[in-house]
Amino acid sequence: MPTDDRDAFVALARELGTQFGDESAARDRDGSFVAKAYDVMRDAGYLALAVPTELGGMGASLTQVTLAQAEMSKHCASASLAVSMHHHITLFAGWRYRREMPGAEGLLRRIADDRIVLVSTGGSDFTRPNGTAEKVDGGYRLNARKIFSSQVPVGDVFSTMFTYEDPEQGRRVLGMSVPVKAEGVEVLDTWDAMGMRGTGSHDVQMTDVFAADAQVASDRPWGVIDPPLLVIGSLAMPVITGVYLGVAEAARDYAVAAVAGKARAEDPLVQRQVGLMDTKLRVARWSLLGALDVIGPDPRPDVDAFDAAMAAKRCVAEEGIAVCDLAMDVAGGASFYRGNPIEQCYRDIRAIKFHPLTPEQSLLHAGRVALGLPADDL
């Protein structure tokens, strides 16, 4: 696929989404995992969307993955958000592969050939991971309770982090790969949330799990946004943000469809609200595309790229939540009923505020950078 065609995989995401989107409301209703979506995506090779073509994947760029996920959200936001966690780990593995870093090629080949699903525990990690690693003979003993482990019902390998008290360097963060079915790993049936209810983002309890030395992928300073984390944030946040942009765009489309051709469409207030939705969505999409331009196809560990990603996420959060609110106003009281797709969008969009950095932390980080103050300790 040509790397300059940013919409190259949007049609594929739409095609797949139509195959499982009919289950979105049911999975939202009972809070069960979107298993059908994963059957469809696995069969279509979509799990290898961001795997380089020479390793058997589709070779999608960061921008292409982001826009494909925005489209998929219009059919099933839970499936789109869940698989975005897999995609952003894959994108980082591709970044490491281009630099010939150990283990990257093997992981990417497993994604393409074996169709494994990578589970991020980023909701528990970032700069201060929940969980500890204790050095033992040949590896580490891990103990943790990880939250927001999206898609874990079908996951194969965790991409996860632990706090390690190094006797020489002090407190560190170890990044590791841990099999989901490793001894001592227990998936807890805890996911019962306001929105994104089909993501299967259960808590995971890890008790005395052994990880060999070879499973350690990184050793980083604790409590610091260091260069590798700048890259991870620059790759992960646009993909995640694209999911929520798609949710807001879907809410707008449902609202317009609810009033088009009806007397309500003649109301100047409704007309203004539709115009406001469209304006906000233009700004949100421009923000995300602008951030992708700043980040580029192969980001360096760059504070400006990281802040661009976070600024776009904040913009989509602010504008997207407002659009979903407006969509309910435009559609009227029918949108207040469970089972109305706008009501689901209204709940799903609100999850965007809980991905790090939060909207307020994004402002704090950007302000510290602008003022020349330390900004790596959030």
Is there a single domain that holds both residue 205 and residue 325?
no
Model pLDDT, residue 2: 39
What CATH number is attached to the domain comprising 64? 1.10.540.10
Looking at the structure, tell me whether residues 270 and 363 fall in a common domain. yes
In a shared domain, residues 239 and 366: yes
Reference 365, options 162, 245, 224, 241; nearest CA is: 224
Looking at the structure, tell me whether residues 143 and 189 fall in a common domain: yes
Give the per-residue pLDDT at 377: 80
Residue 272 lies in a domain: yes
Q: Say yes or no: 86 and 216 in one domain.
A: no
Which tens digit of pLDDT belongs to each residue from 231-266?
999 999 999 999 999 999 999 999 999 999 999 999
What is the domain range of residue 22?
Answer: 10-116
Q: Which two tokens stand for residue 175?
A: 């990044």
Last residue of a domain, one of 85, 116, 147: 116
Residue 27 lies in a domain: yes
pLDDT attached to residue 4: 58
Residue 3 has pLDDT above 50, yes or no: no
The verdict on residue 375 lying in a domain is: no
| Average pLDDT score over residue span 138-148 | 97
Of the listed ranges 310-319, 322-331, 367-376, the least confidently predicted one is: 367-376
Q: What's the number of CA atoms in the CB half-sphere (13 Å) around residue 273?
A: 24
Q: What is the pTM of this model?
A: 0.96
Does 377 reside within a domain?
no
Domains in the chain: how many in total? Answer: 3
pLDDT of residue 1: 37
Q: For residue 347, what is the domain's CATH number? A: 1.20.140.10
- pLDDT above 70 for 49: yes
Indicate whether 321 belongs to any domain: yes
Q: What pLDDT, on the 0 to 100 scale, is given for residue 135?
A: 98
User: With contact defined as beta carbons under 8 Å apart, do 70 and 245 qualify?
Assistant: yes
Residue 86 and residue 139 in one domain:
no
Q: What is the mean pLDDT of residues 334-351?
A: 97
Same domain, 357 and 232: yes
- Which of these three, 116, 150, 185, is where a domain ends? 116
Mean pLDDT (the chain) is: 96
Contacts of 348 (CB under 8 A, 6+ apart): 77, 78, 195, 196, 244, 247
Tens digits of residue pLDDT in 121-141: 988 898 999 999 999 999 999
In terms of domains, do 124 and 216 share one? yes
- Domain assignment present for residue 3? The answer is no
Say if residue 242 is in the same domain as residue 358: yes
Query: Are both 309 and 250 inside the same structural domain?
Result: yes
Which of 188, 221, 254 is where one domain is finished?
221
Question: Quick check: is 18 in a domain?
Answer: yes
Let me know whether 206 and 141 are in one domain.
Answer: yes
Query: In the predicted model, is pLDDT for residue 288 greater than 60?
Result: yes
pLDDT tens-place string over residues 174-189: 999 999 999 999 999 9
Phi, psi of 167 (to 5 degrees): -65, -20
Give me the mean pLDDT over the 96-124 stretch.
95
Q: Can you read off the two tokens belonging to residue 340? A: 């109305």
CATH number, domain of 204, equals 2.40.110.10
